[in-house]
Structures are given as structure tokens and as C-alpha cells.
């Protein structure tokens, strides 16, 4: 039997509190991209369920940017490696790889002819470099800063100019190529998180952790004004992005808002309120075609609505950390995928379209280790928070009443017929029936790792760290050791009966 990739349900960006997240835009306006772990995720902006993933970096990737030609993407990781790869082929063939400095790369900028690249970050000997994309030869020097450089941008019209923003509270201005240091600006009182030229090159803006946005003349670097006066936002500003006609820009802030500015009049056109929780802090933004995007600390991607600033047009949800548990259930002819991770709550996905959302209410507070759907259409899940939960799939809302507390941490569970659930915990097996504990088996003589209830009832199989599968009988509301074992070649990490009335037993080790 042959298999082919049908669809990719992409992860969200991996976020860190107080650290800006860069959204890259396709120059043709079709896609946007961001990073998570060692991957670069490319998503269609009209239909973000359409996604592609680049996974060739050996280390965590921090930033990725399209070349203005649209044919290549440059991505940089924490080791200081820059990979330049093709966007037109499915294989995303590597064109060039360079290491401009040893250390974390935080931002990348291309010249408008797609021939020169500037990279900045946290190098051991220097904080930035500018080089030719096809040879790696230096075309200037990034100097003047005394601390890590967070952001870089290059004017997309001639004569070229380059600007950088740093943790030393300053921004630097360069002329070139070859790019040479011209002047330093020290208008911010805290870190400069983002610096961006307008598309027409007439201005550039700097955004800082002090909540201020300063506007400068693009060709000379002279200061023009401070947007919003003394403060543009009540919290630190992590990103700015310009409109295509260079007349407006948006800014994303830790005060949980995104603001749309009219540059000529120095006024706020719209304030988008994204929530009141810590996870609603806004750490990135992108103005792409007619879309205004922002990224919350939760990783959720918001499509902002100018006509309704308190409610996004849509919010792209999902997981930003590794998925630890997964199950598929068919309802009314449609398959739905349920997933659990380190980040909470759990999510459900339409298997055909990739549309997804989260369960409502207060659910698990830690990693979800295992989940299955029972006969009553409840999602049964166990977590490192020492609980087993029963969640009604019709309501898709957590209930505080449908929770069973375990004595020790559960590792795995299995749903059987007749309302039975087997929970495999550290050093302990727990049998539940109708959402209540009915039997506990201790002093096993081995460490249980995974378990499965026979779909027809009557039998349970438990895999151990000692490489054996132990068989038990379900007698009434109890478990009885049958004294039978199956040998495996290593510690058992998962076990399951086949769905055809349990004629086969599958183990993973």
C-alpha cells in the first residue's frame, strides 16, 4: 500500500514572553511565514489551512524572510547558520548556507534586488553582518552597538540605507553599499525591539520596550516625530508593519492591543483590543495585502477587523508545543481529530478542512498524556496534573464535575465497553466505571507504562518498562492478574488491541 501526504495541519509560532516574533510576508502577497522549533511554517494568507513546512535546520530557527523576488527564503537559527532555500519546488532545495557569526540570529533583511542580505543577533564576536547572497562575500560592516541587535531593515529604494535596533537602547543608521556606519540615535529609554522602513523608503520607524515609536527620514536618518506623543502604547512595543502605500502602520504591544496609525496626521485610526489575559499580549504583526495580522503570546494568529476592533475576523488556533496525544472520532459522517499537548487546552480539528478550535472552560493544567473517545461520545483524557477528565464532545466544554483525581500521575488510559476506563499510573493500575473509580491495583512488581482494554470487554493488557505485556481479566469491577505475559524486545511505550474485536494486540517499544 502506498501513502501520500494529503494535508498539513500547521503548528502555531513558538512564543516567549517579552520577546518579539517576526512574521514574514510573501512579496506577491499570497503567503506569510513564521518559525516554530527547527521548522519554518509557510501558510496561505487567504486560507491558512493550506500550509507547508521547511524542516532542514539542525537547530531552533528564529526568523525567516522572503527575498523580494519571491523565489527564495532566508532563515536563520540559534547557532548562527543562514540557509537560503527555494520556494518554487516542493523539496525546497538548499541554494546556499552561511555562518556570518556564531550565535543567535534574530532578524534578516534583503536588498530590493535580492542580492544582499543583512543578518543581526547575538554573536560572540559581532552582532551583525552584510554579505552577497550568492558568494557570502562581505558588503559592509554592522558596527556601533554594544549589545545584542534585535532588528534590521534595508531601504527598498535607491540609494540604499540600512538601520538596526539594539538592546543598548539605540538605533544605528548606515549608508551603502558597501554599508558603513553613519550615525546613532538614542531616543529610546529601553530596548529597541523592531525597526522597519516604509515600502517607499521615505521613512523608517523604531519601536521600543519603553512603549514609544519614533519616526525618522528614510534617506538622511533625521528624526521627524514620536508617534502618539510621549507614549504610543501603555506597554512595550514588539513589532511594527507598514501599509503598502506607506501612509499607515500598525504596532503590536504587550498592553494587549494593536494600533493602526496614520503617519501624516500622527494619530491613532483604530485600537484593536485583543483581550485581558497575559496570553493576549501582542508580540508580532504583519500588514499583508488587505490583511492585518497579529500574534498573541498564546501563539494565536489574529486577523484584525478594522470595522470591529474588539473582535478579530478570525483567529488561527492550534498547538505551539509538541503534540503528546491524539485520537480520531467520526461523527455524522465527518472525522474529527482531537489533540493534546504541553499547551492547554486541547484542540479539535476537522480532518477534511483543517479548521480547528479549542475546548472551552478550565481543563487540564499540564501535559495531556493520552486521550480516547468512549461509547457516550465523551473525550476521556489523562494528564500530568494527576486527573482523568470526561468532556462531552457535543458541548466541547470542560466540566469541573466530570473529573476524577488520581493518587499518582497517570501515564496512559484506555476506554472499553460498558463505561470502563483503565488508567495506567506510576506504579498503579486504576479501573474506572461510569466516571468513578471502582478498583485500584498496587504493588505490581513492575513499572506499568501503557495499557489497553479489549474492545469486547473482559481482558486488559498492560505494557511494562521491563519489556513484557501483562494480561489481566476484568471480573466485575476488579482486575485479576492472569499470570500470563508476552515478551517484547524493549520497554513498552504504548499498547492497543485491533478494532476487529481485539483479534490482534499491537505494542510499541
* pLDDT, tens only, 177-201: 999 999 999 999 999 999 999 999 9
Closest to 388 in 3D by CA, of 310, 445, 329, 440: 440
Q: In b/e form, how buried is each residue of 130-164, taking b as 16+ CB within 10 angstroms? A: bbbbeeeeebbbbebbeebbbbbbbbbeeebbbbb
* Complete edge-to-edge strand list for the sheet that includes strand 368-373: 368-373, 378-383, 387-392, 403-405
User: Bridge-partner residues for 478, per DSSP?
Assistant: 475
Domain assignment present for residue 388? The answer is yes
Closest to 258 in 3D by CA, of 273, 238, 242, 236: 273
Identify the burial level of 417 via C-beta atoms within 10 angstroms of its C-beta, where 0-12 means exposed, 13-18 middle and 19 or more buried. middle
- Domain of 328, CATH number, reads 2.130.10.10
pLDDT confidence of residue 344: 65
pLDDT confidence of residue 25: 97
CA of 256: how far to CAs of 150, 188, 281, in Å? 21, 21, 4
302 and 340 both lie in a single domain:
no
300 and 364 both lie in a single domain:
no
345 and 269 both lie in a single domain:
no
Tell me how crowded residue 318 is: count the other CB atoms within 10 A of its CB: 23
Domain assignment present for residue 394? The answer is yes
Domain assignment present for residue 18? The answer is no
The answer to whether the CB of 23 falls within 8 A of the CB of 63 is no
pLDDT confidence of residue 124: 86
Domain assignment present for residue 6? The answer is no
What contacts 24+ positions apart, CB below 8 Å, involve 216-222? 216/163, 216/173, 216/185, 218/155, 218/161, 219/155, 219/159, 219/161, 221/161, 221/163, 221/173, 221/182, 221/183, 221/185
Radius of gyration of the chain (CA): 27
Final residue belonging to a domain, choices 265, 283, 316: 316
pLDDT confidence of residue 5: 83
pLDDT confidence of residue 497: 93
How far apart, in whole angstroms, are the C-alpha atoms of residue 95 and residue 316? 32
118 and 138 both lie in a single domain:
yes
144 and 214 both lie in a single domain:
yes
pLDDT confidence of residue 290: 94
284 and 372 both lie in a single domain:
no
240 and 374 both lie in a single domain:
no
Which range marks the domain in which residue 339 is found? 323-508
How far apart, in whole angstroms, are the C-alpha atoms of residue 198 and residue 227? 15
The answer to whether the CB of 466 falls within 8 A of the CB of 509 is no
204 and 256 both lie in a single domain:
yes
Please state the domain count of the chain. Answer: 2
**Nine-digit cell at 201?**
523608503
Residue numbers of the chain with a pLDDT score lower than 50: 509
Domain assignment present for residue 279? The answer is yes
pLDDT confidence of residue 502: 56
210 and 337 both lie in a single domain:
no
DSSP-derived secondary structure letter, 360: B
250 and 157 both lie in a single domain:
yes
pTM of the predicted model, to two decimals?
0.91
pLDDT confidence of residue 506: 59
419 and 451 both lie in a single domain:
yes
Domain assignment present for residue 460? The answer is yes
Domain assignment present for residue 272? The answer is yes
Distance of CA 273 to the CA centre of its chain: 21
89 and 135 both lie in a single domain:
yes
How far apart, in whole angstroms, are the C-alpha atoms of residue 64 and residue 251? 20
Closest to 25 in 3D by CA, of 139, 97, 110, 145: 110
The answer to whether the CB of 64 falls within 8 A of the CB of 108 is yes
The answer to whether the CB of 132 falls within 8 A of the CB of 83 is no
Final residue belonging to a domain, choices 316, 350, 370: 316
Domain assignment present for residue 3? The answer is no
pLDDT confidence of residue 504: 58
pLDDT confidence of residue 349: 94
Final residue belonging to a domain, choices 278, 297, 316: 316
Amino acid at each position: 500500500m502506498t501513502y501520500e501526504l494529503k494535508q498539513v495541519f500547521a503548528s502555531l509560532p513558538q512564543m516567549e514572553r517579552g520577546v518579539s516574533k517576526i512574521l514574514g510576508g510573501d512579496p506577491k502577497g499570497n503567503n506569510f511565514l513564521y518559525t516554530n522549533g527547527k521548522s519554518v511554517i509557510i501558510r496561505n494568507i487567504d486560507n491558512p489551512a493550506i500550509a507547508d513546512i521547511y524542516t532542514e535546520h539542525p537547530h531552533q530557527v528564529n526568523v525567516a524572510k522572503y527575498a523580494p523576488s519571491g523565489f527564495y527564503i532566508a532563515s536563520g537559527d540559534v547557532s548562527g547558520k543562514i540557509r537560503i532555500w527555494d520556494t518554487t519546488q516542493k523539496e525546497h532545495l538548499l541554494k546556499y548556507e552561511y555562518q556570518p557569526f556564531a550565535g543567535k540570529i534574530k532578524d534578516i533583511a534583503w536588498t530590493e534586488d535580492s542580492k544582499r542580505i543583512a543578518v543581526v543577533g547575538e554573536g560572540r564576536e559581532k552582532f551583525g553582518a552584510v554579505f552577497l547572497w550568492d558568494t557570502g562575500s562581505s558588503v559592509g560592516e554592522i558596527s556601533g552597538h554594544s549589545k545584542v541587535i534585535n532588528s534590521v531593515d534595508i531601504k527598498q529604494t535607491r540609494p540604499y540605507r540600512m538601520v538596526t535596533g539594539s538592546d543598548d537602547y539605540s538605533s544605528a543608521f548606515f549608508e551603502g553599499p558597501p554599508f558603513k556606519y553613519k550615525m546613532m540615535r538614542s531616543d529610546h529609554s529601553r530596548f529597541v525591539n523592531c525597526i522597519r522602513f516604509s515600502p517607499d523608503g521615505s521613512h523608517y520607524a523604531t519601536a521600543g520596550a519603553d512603549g514609544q515609536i519614533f519616526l525618522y527620514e528614510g534617506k538622511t536618518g533625521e528624526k521627524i516625530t514620536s508617534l502618539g506623543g510621549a507614549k504610543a502604547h501603555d506597554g512595550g512595543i514588539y513589532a511594527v508593519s507598514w501599509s503598502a502605500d506607506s501612509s499607515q502602520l500598525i504596532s503590536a504591544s504587550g498592553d494587549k492591543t494593536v494600533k493602526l496609525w496614520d503617519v501624516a496626521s500622527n494619530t491613532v485610526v483604530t485600537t484593536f483590543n485583543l483581550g485581558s489575559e497575559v496570553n493576549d499580549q501582542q508580540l508580532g504583526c504583519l500588514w499583508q495585502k488587505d490583511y492585518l495580522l497579529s500574534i498573541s503570546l498564546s501563539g494565536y494568529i489574529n486577523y484584525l477587523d478594522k470595522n470591529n476592533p474588539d473582535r478579530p475576523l478570525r483567529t488561527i488556533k492550534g498547538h505551539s508545543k509538541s503534540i503528546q496525544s491524539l485520537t480520531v472520532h467520526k461523527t455524522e459522517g465527518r472525522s474529527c481529530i482531537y489533540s493534546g499537548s504541553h499547551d492547554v487546552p486541547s484542540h479539535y480539528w476537522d480532518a477534511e478542512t483543517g479548521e480547528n478550535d479549542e475546548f472551552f472552560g478550565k481543563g487540564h493544567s499540564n501535559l495531556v498524556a493520552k486521550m480516547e473517545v468512549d461509547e457516550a461520545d465523551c473525550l476521556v483524557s489523562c494528564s500530568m496534573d494527576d486527573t482523568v477528565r470526561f468532556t462531552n464532545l457535543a458541548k466541547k466544554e470542560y466540566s469541573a464535575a466530570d473529573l476524577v483525581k488520581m493518587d499518582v500521575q497517570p501515564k496512559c488510559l484506555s476506554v472499553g465497553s460498558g463505561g470502563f476506563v483503565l488508567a495506567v499510573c506510576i506504579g498503579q493500575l486504576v479501573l474506572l466505571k461510569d466516571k468513578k473509580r471502582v478498583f485500584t491495583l498496587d504493588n505490581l512488581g513492575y513499572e506499568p507504562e501503557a495499557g489497553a482494554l479489549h474492545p469486547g470487554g473482559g481482558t486488559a493488557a498492560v505494557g511494562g518498562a521491563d519489556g513484557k505485556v501483562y494480561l489481566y481479566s476484568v471480573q466485575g469491577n476488579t482486575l485479576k492478574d492472569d499470570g500470563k505475559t508476552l515478551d517484547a524486545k524493549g520497554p513498552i511505550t504504548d499498547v492497543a488491541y485491533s478494532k476487529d474485536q481485539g483479534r490482534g494486540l499491537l505494542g510499541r517499544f
